[in-house]
Protein backbone atom coordinates (compact mmCIF):
# COMPACT_ATOMS: atom_id res chain seq x y z
CA UNK A 1 0.00 0.00 0.00
CA UNK A 2 1.33 3.46 -0.88
CA UNK A 3 2.05 5.86 1.95
CA UNK A 4 -0.78 8.31 2.47
CA UNK A 5 -0.82 11.61 0.66
CA UNK A 6 -0.68 14.20 3.44
CA UNK A 7 -3.14 16.94 2.66
CA UNK A 8 -3.75 20.31 4.25
CA UNK A 9 -6.07 19.70 7.23
CA UNK A 10 -9.47 21.35 7.15
CA UNK A 11 -11.81 21.57 10.13
CA UNK A 12 -15.52 21.02 9.67
CA UNK A 13 -17.05 21.81 13.03
CA UNK A 14 -15.29 19.50 15.49
CA UNK A 15 -14.00 17.09 12.81
CA UNK A 16 -10.66 17.47 11.05
CA UNK A 17 -10.42 16.12 7.52
CA UNK A 18 -6.97 15.58 6.03
CA UNK A 19 -3.52 16.20 7.45
CA UNK A 20 -2.89 12.46 7.68
CA UNK A 21 -5.56 12.05 10.39
CA UNK A 22 -8.11 9.24 10.46
CA UNK A 23 -10.12 8.86 7.26
CA UNK A 24 -13.52 10.30 8.09
CA UNK A 25 -16.72 8.38 7.31
CA UNK A 26 -19.65 10.45 6.15
CA UNK A 27 -23.11 10.02 4.74
CA UNK A 28 -26.06 12.02 3.48
CA UNK A 29 -29.62 12.01 4.77
CA UNK A 30 -32.43 10.95 2.44
CA UNK A 31 -35.20 12.64 4.41
CA UNK A 32 -36.84 15.86 3.28
CA UNK A 33 -34.63 18.39 5.06
CA UNK A 34 -37.70 20.57 5.61
CA UNK A 35 -39.08 17.77 7.76
CA UNK A 36 -36.94 18.71 10.75
CA UNK A 37 -38.05 15.86 13.05
CA UNK A 38 -37.47 13.15 10.44
CA UNK A 39 -34.08 14.58 9.51
CA UNK A 40 -32.97 14.82 13.14
CA UNK A 41 -34.10 11.22 13.75
CA UNK A 42 -32.16 9.96 10.79
CA UNK A 43 -29.01 11.88 11.73
CA UNK A 44 -29.24 10.52 15.27
CA UNK A 45 -29.46 7.01 13.87
CA UNK A 46 -26.38 7.74 11.76
CA UNK A 47 -24.60 9.00 14.88
CA UNK A 48 -25.39 5.69 16.58
CA UNK A 49 -23.55 4.01 13.71
CA UNK A 50 -20.59 6.37 14.26
CA UNK A 51 -21.14 8.47 11.16
CA UNK A 52 -18.76 11.40 11.58
CA UNK A 53 -20.09 14.01 9.15
CA UNK A 54 -23.54 14.34 7.65
CA UNK A 55 -24.73 16.17 4.57
CA UNK A 56 -28.25 17.34 3.96
CA UNK A 57 -29.83 18.43 0.69
CA UNK A 58 -30.84 22.08 0.54
CA UNK A 59 -33.26 22.36 -2.38
CA UNK A 60 -35.01 25.53 -1.21
CA UNK A 61 -35.05 28.31 1.37
CA UNK A 62 -37.23 26.36 3.78
CA UNK A 63 -34.65 23.55 3.81
CA UNK A 64 -31.82 26.06 4.34
CA UNK A 65 -33.64 27.60 7.28
CA UNK A 66 -34.41 24.14 8.75
CA UNK A 67 -30.66 23.74 9.38
CA UNK A 68 -30.96 26.21 12.25
CA UNK A 69 -33.40 23.85 13.97
CA UNK A 70 -31.57 20.64 13.08
CA UNK A 71 -28.12 21.74 14.22
CA UNK A 72 -28.77 22.06 17.97
CA UNK A 73 -30.38 18.59 18.06
CA UNK A 74 -27.44 16.65 16.57
CA UNK A 75 -23.85 16.18 17.61
CA UNK A 76 -21.97 15.63 14.33
CA UNK A 77 -21.05 18.45 11.95
CA UNK A 78 -23.58 19.22 9.24
CA UNK A 79 -22.77 20.01 5.62
CA UNK A 80 -25.27 21.77 3.36
CA UNK A 81 -25.50 20.44 -0.19
CA UNK A 82 -26.21 23.25 -2.62
CA UNK A 83 -27.09 23.22 -6.28
CA UNK A 84 -28.11 25.97 -8.69
CA UNK A 85 -28.93 28.83 -6.33
CA UNK A 86 -26.10 30.57 -4.49
CA UNK A 87 -28.63 32.25 -2.19
CA UNK A 88 -29.33 28.84 -0.66
CA UNK A 89 -25.65 28.61 0.30
CA UNK A 90 -25.84 32.02 1.95
CA UNK A 91 -28.98 31.01 3.85
CA UNK A 92 -27.40 27.69 4.94
CA UNK A 93 -24.38 29.59 6.25
CA UNK A 94 -26.66 31.99 8.12
CA UNK A 95 -28.46 28.95 9.57
CA UNK A 96 -25.19 27.62 11.00
CA UNK A 97 -24.04 24.81 8.71
CA UNK A 98 -20.49 23.55 9.41
CA UNK A 99 -19.60 22.93 5.78
CA UNK A 100 -20.84 23.59 2.29
CA UNK A 101 -20.80 21.41 -0.77
CA UNK A 102 -21.10 23.24 -4.05
CA UNK A 103 -21.24 21.83 -7.54
CA UNK A 104 -19.33 24.36 -9.60
CA UNK A 105 -21.07 23.12 -12.72
CA UNK A 106 -24.35 24.63 -11.71
CA UNK A 107 -23.76 27.61 -9.43
CA UNK A 108 -23.17 29.97 -12.31
CA UNK A 109 -21.21 33.21 -12.51
CA UNK A 110 -18.05 33.73 -10.43
CA UNK A 111 -19.79 36.67 -8.71
CA UNK A 112 -22.18 34.24 -7.06
CA UNK A 113 -19.36 32.01 -5.89
CA UNK A 114 -17.62 35.14 -4.57
CA UNK A 115 -20.61 36.03 -2.43
CA UNK A 116 -20.62 32.53 -0.91
CA UNK A 117 -16.88 32.61 -0.26
CA UNK A 118 -17.10 35.97 1.50
CA UNK A 119 -19.63 34.69 4.03
CA UNK A 120 -17.95 31.26 4.40
CA UNK A 121 -14.65 32.98 5.21
CA UNK A 122 -16.30 35.18 7.83
CA UNK A 123 -17.77 32.09 9.45
CA UNK A 124 -14.73 29.82 9.03
CA UNK A 125 -16.81 27.32 7.10
CA UNK A 126 -15.05 25.09 4.54
CA UNK A 127 -16.36 24.53 1.05
CA UNK A 128 -16.20 21.26 -0.83
CA UNK A 129 -15.90 21.72 -4.53
CA UNK A 130 -17.92 18.72 -5.58
CA UNK A 131 -17.42 17.97 -9.26
CA UNK A 132 -19.67 15.32 -10.72
CA UNK A 133 -19.05 13.74 -14.15
CA UNK A 134 -22.76 13.91 -14.92
CA UNK A 135 -23.01 17.67 -14.46
CA UNK A 136 -19.85 19.23 -15.82
CA UNK A 137 -20.14 22.87 -16.82
CA UNK A 138 -20.64 23.65 -20.50
CA UNK A 139 -17.32 25.47 -20.53
CA UNK A 140 -15.45 22.14 -20.05
CA UNK A 141 -13.85 21.09 -23.35
CA UNK A 142 -15.94 18.12 -24.63
CA UNK A 143 -13.00 16.81 -26.67
CA UNK A 144 -11.06 16.00 -23.51
CA UNK A 145 -11.47 12.74 -21.57
CA UNK A 146 -14.08 12.98 -18.79
CA UNK A 147 -11.50 12.59 -15.99
CA UNK A 148 -9.50 15.50 -17.38
CA UNK A 149 -12.58 17.66 -17.74
CA UNK A 150 -13.44 16.93 -14.12
CA UNK A 151 -9.95 17.89 -12.95
CA UNK A 152 -9.91 21.06 -15.10
CA UNK A 153 -13.30 22.09 -13.72
CA UNK A 154 -12.14 21.59 -10.13
CA UNK A 155 -8.86 23.43 -10.71
CA UNK A 156 -10.70 26.41 -12.15
CA UNK A 157 -12.93 26.63 -9.09
CA UNK A 158 -9.99 26.15 -6.73
CA UNK A 159 -8.19 29.02 -8.45
CA UNK A 160 -11.26 31.19 -8.06
CA UNK A 161 -11.49 30.41 -4.33
CA UNK A 162 -7.75 30.93 -3.86
CA UNK A 163 -7.91 34.25 -5.68
CA UNK A 164 -10.45 35.28 -3.04
CA UNK A 165 -7.93 34.37 -0.35
CA UNK A 166 -9.93 31.32 0.67
CA UNK A 167 -8.26 28.01 1.38
CA UNK A 168 -10.75 26.08 3.52
CA UNK A 169 -11.20 23.77 0.59
CA UNK A 170 -12.05 20.10 0.09
CA UNK A 171 -12.46 18.55 -3.32
CA UNK A 172 -14.35 15.62 -4.79
CA UNK A 173 -14.39 14.37 -8.37
CA UNK A 174 -17.00 11.68 -8.64
CA UNK A 175 -18.14 9.59 -11.54
CA UNK A 176 -20.17 6.38 -11.79
CA UNK A 177 -17.38 4.86 -13.86
CA UNK A 178 -14.69 3.58 -11.52
CA UNK A 179 -11.63 3.96 -13.81
CA UNK A 180 -12.70 7.56 -14.57
CA UNK A 181 -13.09 8.29 -10.86
CA UNK A 182 -9.71 6.79 -9.98
CA UNK A 183 -7.98 8.58 -12.85
CA UNK A 184 -9.46 11.96 -11.89
CA UNK A 185 -8.47 11.66 -8.23
CA UNK A 186 -4.99 10.40 -9.07
CA UNK A 187 -4.44 13.38 -11.35
CA UNK A 188 -5.68 16.04 -8.97
CA UNK A 189 -4.00 14.50 -5.90
CA UNK A 190 -0.64 15.46 -7.36
CA UNK A 191 -1.73 18.99 -8.23
CA UNK A 192 -3.38 20.41 -5.09
CA UNK A 193 -2.69 20.35 -1.35
CA UNK A 194 -6.31 20.08 -0.25
CA UNK A 195 -8.04 17.11 1.34
CA UNK A 196 -10.00 14.83 -0.94
CA UNK A 197 -13.50 13.52 -0.34
CA UNK A 198 -13.62 10.27 -2.28
CA UNK A 199 -16.46 8.15 -3.53
CA UNK A 200 -18.08 6.65 -6.58
CA UNK A 201 -21.25 8.54 -7.36
CA UNK A 202 -24.67 6.98 -7.88
CA UNK A 203 -23.06 3.59 -7.22
CA UNK A 204 -26.43 1.82 -7.09
CA UNK A 205 -28.41 -0.45 -4.76
CA UNK A 206 -26.47 -2.10 -1.91
CA UNK A 207 -25.44 -5.36 -3.61
CA UNK A 208 -23.78 -3.82 -6.65
CA UNK A 209 -23.19 -0.38 -5.12
CA UNK A 210 -21.10 -1.62 -2.22
CA UNK A 211 -18.86 -3.57 -4.59
CA UNK A 212 -18.51 -0.68 -7.04
CA UNK A 213 -17.73 1.70 -4.18
CA UNK A 214 -15.33 -0.70 -2.51
CA UNK A 215 -13.40 -1.14 -5.75
CA UNK A 216 -13.23 2.61 -6.45
CA UNK A 217 -12.68 3.87 -2.92
CA UNK A 218 -10.47 0.90 -2.04
CA UNK A 219 -8.22 1.43 -5.07
CA UNK A 220 -7.76 5.09 -4.19
CA UNK A 221 -7.11 4.41 -0.52
CA UNK A 222 -4.58 1.75 -1.47
CA UNK A 223 -2.86 4.42 -3.58
CA UNK A 224 -2.71 6.61 -0.46
CA UNK A 225 -5.41 8.97 -1.74
CA UNK A 226 -8.47 10.06 0.22
CA UNK A 227 -9.23 11.88 3.48
CA UNK A 228 -12.96 11.30 3.86
CA UNK A 229 -15.26 8.78 2.22
CA UNK A 230 -18.89 8.49 1.34
CA UNK A 231 -20.25 5.24 -0.02
CA UNK A 232 -23.16 6.42 -2.09
CA UNK A 233 -25.92 3.79 -2.12
CA UNK A 234 -29.58 3.62 -3.07
CA UNK A 235 -30.44 2.54 0.46
CA UNK A 236 -30.89 3.86 4.00
CA UNK A 237 -27.79 5.97 4.73
CA UNK A 238 -26.87 3.79 7.69
CA UNK A 239 -25.85 1.19 5.07
CA UNK A 240 -23.41 3.73 3.63
CA UNK A 241 -21.77 4.20 7.01
CA UNK A 242 -21.52 0.46 7.68
CA UNK A 243 -20.02 -0.10 4.21
CA UNK A 244 -17.62 2.82 4.70
CA UNK A 245 -16.16 1.32 7.83
CA UNK A 246 -15.95 -2.12 6.25
CA UNK A 247 -13.87 -0.66 3.41
CA UNK A 248 -11.55 1.10 5.86
CA UNK A 249 -11.29 -1.98 8.08
CA UNK A 250 -10.42 -4.21 5.14
CA UNK A 251 -7.42 -1.98 4.39
CA UNK A 252 -6.46 -1.72 8.09
CA UNK A 253 -7.00 2.04 7.90
CA UNK A 254 -9.52 2.26 10.75
CA UNK A 255 -10.66 -0.01 13.51
CA UNK A 256 -14.38 -0.07 14.05
CA UNK A 257 -16.23 -2.79 15.89
CA UNK A 258 -15.61 -6.49 15.33
CA UNK A 259 -14.22 -8.15 12.23
CA UNK A 260 -15.89 -11.45 11.37
CA UNK A 261 -13.87 -14.10 9.58
CA UNK A 262 -16.15 -16.85 8.31
CA UNK A 263 -15.49 -19.58 5.81
CA UNK A 264 -17.64 -19.81 2.68
CA UNK A 265 -18.63 -23.40 3.63
CA UNK A 266 -18.15 -26.34 1.29
CA UNK A 267 -18.76 -30.04 0.97
CA UNK A 268 -16.71 -30.69 4.09
CA UNK A 269 -19.01 -28.63 6.33
CA UNK A 270 -20.92 -30.74 8.84
CA UNK A 271 -22.78 -27.92 10.65
CA UNK A 272 -25.06 -25.19 9.29
CA UNK A 273 -22.20 -22.71 8.94
CA UNK A 274 -24.19 -20.15 6.93
CA UNK A 275 -26.82 -19.85 9.67
CA UNK A 276 -24.14 -19.83 12.38
CA UNK A 277 -22.22 -17.02 10.68
CA UNK A 278 -25.40 -14.99 10.15
CA UNK A 279 -26.38 -15.38 13.81
CA UNK A 280 -22.91 -14.38 14.98
CA UNK A 281 -22.88 -11.40 12.61
CA UNK A 282 -26.21 -10.21 14.04
CA UNK A 283 -24.93 -10.56 17.60
CA UNK A 284 -21.66 -8.78 16.78
CA UNK A 285 -23.58 -5.83 15.36
CA UNK A 286 -24.41 -4.95 18.97
CA UNK A 287 -20.73 -4.90 19.99
CA UNK A 288 -18.36 -1.98 19.48
CA UNK A 289 -15.06 -3.61 20.57
CA UNK A 290 -12.51 -3.84 17.74
CA UNK A 291 -12.05 -7.62 17.95
CA UNK A 292 -11.59 -10.43 15.46
CA UNK A 293 -14.03 -13.33 15.54
CA UNK A 294 -13.81 -16.46 13.40
CA UNK A 295 -16.58 -18.90 12.48
CA UNK A 296 -15.12 -21.77 10.51
CA UNK A 297 -16.66 -24.90 9.10
CA UNK A 298 -14.06 -27.66 9.45
CA UNK A 299 -10.57 -28.68 10.46
CA UNK A 300 -8.85 -27.59 7.22
CA UNK A 301 -8.50 -23.85 7.92
CA UNK A 302 -10.77 -23.75 10.95
CA UNK A 303 -8.29 -24.17 13.80
CA UNK A 304 -5.78 -21.81 12.13
CA UNK A 305 -8.27 -18.96 11.67
CA UNK A 306 -9.98 -19.60 15.01
CA UNK A 307 -6.62 -19.51 16.80
CA UNK A 308 -5.63 -16.32 15.02
CA UNK A 309 -8.85 -14.56 16.12
CA UNK A 310 -9.65 -13.17 19.56
CA UNK A 311 -12.48 -15.69 19.74
CA UNK A 312 -13.23 -18.39 17.20
CA UNK A 313 -14.95 -21.65 16.54
CA UNK A 314 -13.75 -24.46 14.32
CA UNK A 315 -16.64 -26.81 13.67
CA UNK A 316 -16.75 -30.53 13.18
CA UNK A 317 -19.75 -32.88 12.97
CA UNK A 318 -22.56 -31.21 14.96
CA UNK A 319 -20.15 -29.47 17.31
CA UNK A 320 -17.28 -27.00 17.39
CA UNK A 321 -14.04 -26.29 19.21
CA UNK A 322 -14.04 -22.90 20.89
CA UNK A 323 -10.80 -20.89 20.83
CA UNK A 324 -9.96 -17.76 22.77
CA UNK A 325 -6.80 -15.73 22.18
CA UNK A 326 -5.21 -18.68 20.44
CA UNK A 327 -6.05 -21.24 23.14
CA UNK A 328 -8.46 -24.13 22.75
CA UNK A 329 -11.06 -23.73 25.50
CA UNK A 330 -13.64 -26.47 25.05
CA UNK A 331 -15.89 -28.39 22.68
CA UNK A 332 -19.45 -27.05 22.35
CA UNK A 333 -22.56 -28.63 20.79
CA UNK A 334 -23.80 -26.90 17.60
CA UNK A 335 -27.00 -25.63 19.25
CA UNK A 336 -24.97 -23.85 21.98
CA UNK A 337 -22.18 -22.47 19.77
CA UNK A 338 -23.46 -18.90 19.24
CA UNK A 339 -24.24 -18.43 22.92
CA UNK A 340 -20.86 -19.83 24.02
CA UNK A 341 -18.98 -17.74 21.49
CA UNK A 342 -20.78 -14.52 22.44
CA UNK A 343 -20.17 -15.17 26.14
CA UNK A 344 -16.43 -15.27 25.43
CA UNK A 345 -16.69 -12.14 23.25
CA UNK A 346 -18.43 -10.24 26.04
CA UNK A 347 -15.76 -11.29 28.54
CA UNK A 348 -12.87 -10.06 26.39
If the CB atoms of residues 102 and 277 are measured against ligand SF4, the closer one turns out to be 277
Count other C-beta atoms under 10 Å from residue 19's C-beta: 13
Q: Which is nearer to ligand SF4, 266 or 331 (CB)?
A: 266
Measured from the CB of residue 332, what is the shortest distance to ligand SF4 in angstroms?
17
Smallest distance, Å, CB 294 to ligand SF4?
Answer: 10
3-state secondary structure 75-95: CCCEEEEECCCHHHHHHHHHC
- Cα 253 to Cα 69, 247, 300: the distances in Å are 35, 9, 30
Letter string b/e over residues 274-311, b meaning 16 or more CB atoms within 10 A of that residue's CB: eebbebbeebbeeeeeebebbbbbbeeebbebbbebbb
Compute CA 211 distance to the chain's CA centroid, rounded to the nearest angstrom: 13
Q: What is the CA radius of gyration of the chain?
A: 23
Closest separation in Å from C-beta 207 to ligand SF4? 22
Please list the residues that pair with 28 across neighbouring strands: 55
Q: What are phi and psi of 79, to 5 degrees?
A: -115, 135
> At CA 338, angle to CA 335 and CA 343, rounded to 5?
125
| Nearest residue (CB) to ligand SF4, 97 versus 263 | 263
Least separation in angstroms between residue 211's CB and ligand SF4 is: 21
Smaller CB separation from ligand SF4, 67 or 276: 276
Least separation in angstroms between CB 322 and ligand SF4: 16
Nearer to ligand SF4, 105 or 312 (CB): 312
Tell me the closest approach of the beta carbon of residue 267 to ligand SF4, in angstroms. Answer: 7
Residue nearest to ligand SF4 (CB): 297
**Nearer Cβ to ligand SF4 (106/301):** 301
Give Cβ neighbours of residue 16 (< 8 Å, ≥ 6 apart): 9, 10
| Sites of contact with ligand SF4 (CB under 6 A) | 263-266, 268-269, 296-298, 300-302
- Residue 134: strand, helix, or coil: helix
Amino acid sequence: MNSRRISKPVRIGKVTVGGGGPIVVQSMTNTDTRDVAATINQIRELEEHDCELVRVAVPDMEAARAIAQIKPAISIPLIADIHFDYRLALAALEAGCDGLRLNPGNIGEPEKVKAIVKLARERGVPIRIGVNAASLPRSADPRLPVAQRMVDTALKQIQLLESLDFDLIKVSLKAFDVPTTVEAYRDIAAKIPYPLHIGVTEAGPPKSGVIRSAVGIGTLLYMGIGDTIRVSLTAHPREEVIAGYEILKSLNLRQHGPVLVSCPSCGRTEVDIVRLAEQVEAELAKISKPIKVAVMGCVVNGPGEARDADVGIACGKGRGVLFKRGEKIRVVEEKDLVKALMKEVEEL
